[in-house]
Structure 1
Amino acid sequence: MPAGVQQASLKSFDKGPFSTFQLSMEKECDWTGIKFSPDGKTILTSTNGSVIRLVDAFQGTALKTFAGHLNNKGIPLEASFSPDSQFIFSGSTDGRVHVWNAETGYKVCVLNADHTGPVQCVQFNPKYMMLASGCTNMAFWLPSLDDM
């Protein structure tokens, strides 16, 4: 094992939490998902409402709130990071995928697909520049070579 790398085992986790923090609950919705960013620095919390939050993974401080996507059905909509942790992707009940800049919190674009219902699943391929979104059908998003 390389110098400076610690090996963790399940036995390491039997002593209870090492650090805890309280996050205030959303007033009009419930948390439905949490994901660590690929760089491990932040946590993305998704809800069954129209709120997605980015939280510091070590302090629990709310960093950004992403809004502007539609969730008028109160269902869990998945949010996901791009592999470089720079962008946040979320489904919407209008069948579109909304994209925000993780650092600024500003919406970058809205992706339109042939989704016939709420986009509840959004995941980035961790190895290749490909995004998949799904409801009753799936859409695969590949960047145009003209954009590179």
Structure 2
Amino acid sequence: MKITDSVLRSFRVARTFRENSQKVNCVDYSSNGESAISSSDDDSIVLYDCQEGKPIRTLYSKKYGVDLIRYTHGDANTVVYSSNKLDDTIRYLSLTDNKYIRYFPGHTDRVVALSMSPVDDTFISGSLDMTIRLWDLRSPNCQGLTNPLGKPVCSYDPEGLIFAAGVDSEAIKLYDLRSFDKVTLKIGFFAAFQP
């Protein structure tokens, strides 16, 4: 099917879920597309079965809060998420038994960006403390740190070789993960997206 303006305008809501009492702050799909997960300001984590089109389980993070939830690479049974209450630690959670596998402390202000590598067990996080940190699920220690000098957003490329960091909505910096402490390219935001 070709996506045209009229096709997009014909889309309708197929199903509405009202599992949350407050704002849903993030939604993510598993890599196989069979499940989805949401986090909410009411401290809930809701798992959805995409084939059946229904919620299948609700977990809670009452003590820490939950935001920016992401499935881990290739595993629909584990997630990482940022906290929005007690501290700024990132948590690695088993959905099977609702137990924390690991904590990732280090940020000193709210985490505003979280992205899993599409190829391995690493992830990146950006915080209002004006740092971007590189993590490995197998270790609680930060594997790398850069200070992009502004409020960062960050994301991996599809091959997991480069991550992009947007800084204060003015520039995009591209980092080679093999030497990510050195900026490989800096692109003005508008220049990067002009036709």
TM-score normalised by the shorter chain: which range applies?
Answer: 0.7 to 0.9
Match of 1:140 in 2: 134
Q: How much does 1:80 deviate?
A: 0.3
Inter-partner Cα distance in structure 2 for 1:34 and 1:144: 24
CA distance in 1, matches of 2:134, 2:106: 11
Please show how residues 105-144 of structure 1 align to structure 2 within 5 Å: 105-135=97-127, 136=129, 137-144=131-138
The equivalent residue for 1:78 is 68
* Aligned counterparts of 1:30 and 1:82: Cα–Cα separation in 2: 23
**1:107 alignment partner AA:** K
Could you list the structure 1 runs, at least 4 aligned residues long, displaced by more than 4 angstroms after superposition. 11-15
Task: Work out which of the two has the higher radius of gyration on C-alpha atoms and give 1 or 2.
Answer: 2
- CA distance 1:13–1:59, change in 2 (3 Å): farther
Q: Is the 8 A contact 1:23 1:60 kept in 2?
A: no
Q: Which has the higher strand share?
A: 2
Question: Do the aligned residues in 1 keep the contact of 2:48 with 2:55 (CA within 8 Å)?
Answer: yes
**CA 120–37 in structure 1, closer or farther in 2 if over 3 Å, else same:** same
Aligned counterpart for 2:20 among listed residues 11, 18, 26: 26
**2:86 equivalent to 1:91:** no
Identity %: 15
| SS class of match (1:120) | strand
Question: How many residues matched?
Answer: 131
- TM-score, structure 1 as length reference: 0.72
Moved more, 89-98 or 45-54: 45-54
1:130 alignment partner AA: T
Asked if the contact 1:77/1:121 (under 8 Å) is kept, the reply is no
How far is the alpha carbon of 1:13 from its aligned partner? Answer: 5.5
**TM-score (structure 2 length as normaliser):** 0.57
How far off its partner does 1:25 sit? 4.2
Q: Which has the higher contact order (CA 8 A, sep 6+)?
A: 1
Cα contact 2:82–2:88 (8 A) shared by 1: yes
In structure 2, the residue matched to 1:58 is 51
Q: Which amino acid is 2:20 matched to?
A: E
Q: Pick from 10, 21, 28 the counterpart of residue 3 of structure 2.
A: 10
**Cα distance in 1 for residues equivalent to 2:136 and 2:59:** 23
